[in-house]
Amino acid sequence: MQTKISASVLSADLAHLADQCQLALDAGVDMLHIDVMDGHFVPNLTYGAPVLSCLHRALPDACYDVHLMIDDPDRYALDFAKAGAALITFHLEAPVDPSATIAAIRMAGCRVGISIRPATPVEKVFPYLGEVDMVLVMSVEPGFGGQAFLPETPSRLAAVHRELDRRGLTTDLQVDGGVNDDTAPLCVKAGANVLVVGSALYHAADPAALTTHLHNLTHAACP
C-alpha cells in the first residue's frame, strides 16, 4: 500500500495560497489538508468555508482534506462540504455526540474522519472505528504549525492499527504534526498510511523529491 501525503497549507505562504497549493500538487501530494480553527477548541484562528470555496474554484480537481478543530462541527459540516471538502475530520474531544456528527458529515456528502489529541487515550476512539473512513492521531497539540513531533506517537498509532487489523477494517490511519523525513518512517512503521506534511514540505529544497520519498515508505504489517 502506497503511503498517501496530505499537504498542510497552514505552513504555506497564505498571501499566495492558491499558488502554494499548486506547488504541493505539482510535487505529487494526494490531498490538501485544510486546518480550521475557531479560537475556542484550540487557541488559534485560521480560515473558514469561504477560503476553501475560493481554493476549490481555483483548483477544482484537488482533494480537500478538512480538519475541523472547532467546538461545533455539526453546524459547519455542510458549509465545508458545499465549499468543496472531500473528507471532513472532527475531534472526538469536541462537545458533540460523535455518532451524530459522523451522520451529519455523511449527510453532507463527505467522507468522515475522527481525530484525537495527544492526551486522549487511543481506546476512546475504538467505538467509532467502524463508522469512519479515517482516524487522525495528532502528534502535536493542535492549534499551531511547526511544532515538534511527540515521541509517544508511534506507540499510539500502533495501538489503533492493531485494533483496526483485529477487526478487519481498512480505515485510513492519518498522523499530523511534526511529520518529516525523520519522523515519517516511524509513523508508517507503526501503521499510518496517510501523512500530513506541512513545514517539511514547504521548506524542502525539493518538495517533489520529499513527496516521492514519503510515498515510497512501506506500510507496516501489524505486529
Q: Whole-prediction pTM value? A: 0.94
**Among residues 38, 74, 172, 176, which one is catalytic?**
176
**Among residues 30, 35, 38, 74, which one is catalytic?**
35
Task: List per-block mean pLDDT (blocks of 10 residues) for the chain, which spans 223 residues.
Answer: 92 95 98 94 91 97 97 94 98 94 96 97 97 97 77 97 97 96 96 96 96 84 40
- Counting every residue written for the chain, the total comes to 223
CATH number at residue 131: 3.20.20.70
Q: Structural domain of residue 31, as residue ranges?
A: 4-215
Residue 146 has what pLDDT? Answer: 65
- Give the bridge partners for 88, in sequence order: 66, 112
Residue 67: inside a domain, yes or no? yes
Residue 222: inside a domain, yes or no? no
Q: How far is CA 223 from CA 8, 166, 191, in A?
A: 30, 11, 10
Give the number of other CB atoms < 10 A from CB of residue 213.
Answer: 15
Residue 79 has what pLDDT? Answer: 97
Domains: count for the chain: 1
- Give catalytic status of residue 35 as yes or no: yes
- Give the bridge partners for 66, in sequence order: 34, 88
Integer Cα distance of 96 and 31 in angstroms: 27
- Give catalytic status of residue 74 as yes or no: no
Residue 20: inside a domain, yes or no? yes
Residue 118 has what pLDDT? Answer: 96
